[in-house]
Structure 1
């Protein structure tokens, strides 16, 4: 039997799936940031003709999914499954998008780690012989997330300096069993880690221990170190969480070096008043589908680890006084 499981938490793919296409669409604020030119499309406003932010988010996800299909050159009938997720209750944005795409649908919720988790699950479906092609999409919207998780934007509440700005965007990739492109060679599925953080304005601190735990287990499982990767990008720890994760790893004997970065740090710059950086399901999705995919295809990056980070809280758990559990899921992509 070919056992693909390595160590405690890692899977190494015998037949690594290929990323055939990617598409990233973002809102105007994201388009004005340092990665603006790496996105497939930038919307002019947050609604784009829709009557609500929630409908706009679903429309954005539909665009990203269709963009990957179009770029791949595959007919929709050649795609076996759609995996998608978002931040809203019952992943409603993904459900509405899946209604339009009309493919066999697997809804995925990993909070802001959903992109990395979906890439891992889609790769398992292909490597396991259950699919030839899998479409993946993830979305978030600043205004829908603020309305659900924090305070009404109309209230104009003061934001804490540790707070992050939820990305308005959607990222998609199409995985295939065969073809040309970067390949997903391994995945490390994380454990839920909770150090008792209760401040919803400091999600970086809530997620950092889980990201560090996943990285530690990944290195141990595969007998690797940070220097074996051109880039290790966490999902959306922001400046606060990235520094905390690096310190936890340092105390565990790992010096991460300059190749340890965060998608939530990369997508905005200091002039955009986002405080600790970016967050949201779309944060790592659009950075990966945009900038990182372009650099992998160009040969500027050879081996990348994307570590999606998620804060597994909800309005219900917050009102019951629960702390914020964190999760980190990692995938390795090689050109």
Structure 2
């Protein structure tokens, strides 16, 4: 029997994590979670001629690591799903051209990992395919050039800003039982509360994260305490404080809550409010928390990846920033 959405959410029975590959930049490696990543690089170029080519190389490495861990060849994957922050999802498309396999490029801003995980999970759960390789990447220098100013300009950063994480994550999902599975998911709704400052995206995204959390709990008839840990994607410090206040005002109790943007870096690193970017929540969820689950530190984790769906063209026109949150839960298989 096929699974169907209840409201915005779905429970899953047959989607498992087979293998993961993670690569990270030097700042991410020097943070508190650096030892949990498979590979890191000493600078932004990694020996390449441009930041964009470095991002592609970083993504290729993450995918290769996941395939090797899963004892798979690239042609064994039914479909690849991935995205990044560049125009025309450049890093993903340039990487996928070497797969010669079905590929779905997706853009969900910093929520892209949730988007690709949820899409692949529904396809696997409903027997449309056996496996999928879900990946994301982001690079601080390419993202700054895309959405703000090239890093070479040396523009002074505002206190409210976050730091786009440099990293790539590849997650292979399939229908063969393993230690950890994707237990449920919630597809986010676009929420726009008229925030128009592109330098303050954490606070803009918090209402979208809260909307997804409420829909997830309502759809599945759960309390937040069902999870050992709830993490949001990249609200970072300011947005995290708003998220906690929203949960308090609405009497939502939880065992533990944190934000991936606050976890990725230490307080003495020069990252303003914390981390952001598609690789931020992906590195924390699948590099760090996944390994904690394997050691039974946590049994159930709800990950709410968050994204500010802004366009530089629209923000230059002083338009507001629509935001979204896509959620999925990780569960240890007993």
- 1:159-211 per-residue CA deviation (whole Å, 9 max, x = no partner) reads 11111010000011100111322100110011000011111110001100000
1:321 deviates by 2.2
Paired with 2:254 and 2:314, the residues of 1 have a C-alpha distance of 34
The unaligned stretches of length 5 or more in structure 1 are none
Please state how far the C-alpha of 1:3 moved relative to its aligned partner: 4.9
3-state SS of 1:60 partner = helix
Within-5 A mapping of 1:107-126: 107-126=105-124
Q: CA–CA distance in 2 between the matches of 1:100 and 1:271?
A: 40
Matches of residues 38-49 of structure 1 in structure 2 within 5 Å? 38-49=36-47
1:22–1:293: 8 Å Cα contact kept in structure 2?
no
Identify the residue that residue 9 of structure 1 maps to in structure 2: 8
Q: Distance in 1 between matches of 2:133 and 2:118?
A: 12
Partner of 1:147: 145
- Structure 2 residue 289 is matched with structure 1 residue 292: yes
Task: Tell me how far apart the structure 2 counterparts of residues 115 and 165 of structure 1 sit (CA, whole Å).
Answer: 18
Pairing partner for 2:278 from 281, 289, 301: 281
Shift of 1:263: 0.6
Alpha-carbon offset, residue 102 of structure 1 = 2.8
After TM superposition, the structure 1 = structure 2 runs for residues 221-240 of structure 1, keeping only pairs within 5 Å, are 221-240=219-238
The partner residue of 2:330 within 320, 329, 333 is 333
| 1:52–1:333 CA distance, 2 compared to 1 (3 A) | same
Supply the RMSD in Å over aligned alpha carbons: 1.2
Structure 1 counterpart of 2:136: 138
Runs of 5+ consecutive residues of structure 2 not aligned to the other structure: none
CA shift in 2, pair 1:3/1:142, >3 Å: closer
Question: Normalising by structure 1, what TM-score?
Answer: 0.96
Equivalent pairs counted in the alignment come to 332
Q: Quick one: structure 1 residues 56 and 2, their matched pair in 2 at CA, closer, same or farther if it must change by over 3 Å? A: closer
For the 8 Å contact 1:198–1:323, the answer to whether it is kept is yes
Counterpart selection for 1:73 from 53, 71, 74 = 71
TM-score, normalised with respect to structure 2: 0.97
After TM superposition, give the deviation of residue 280 of structure 1 in Å: 0.6
1:252-292 deviation line (CA, Å, top 9, x unaligned)? 221345x1111100010111111100001110111122101
Alpha-carbon distance in 2 for matches of 1:4, 1:303: 22
CA distance in 2, matches of 1:52, 1:178: 39
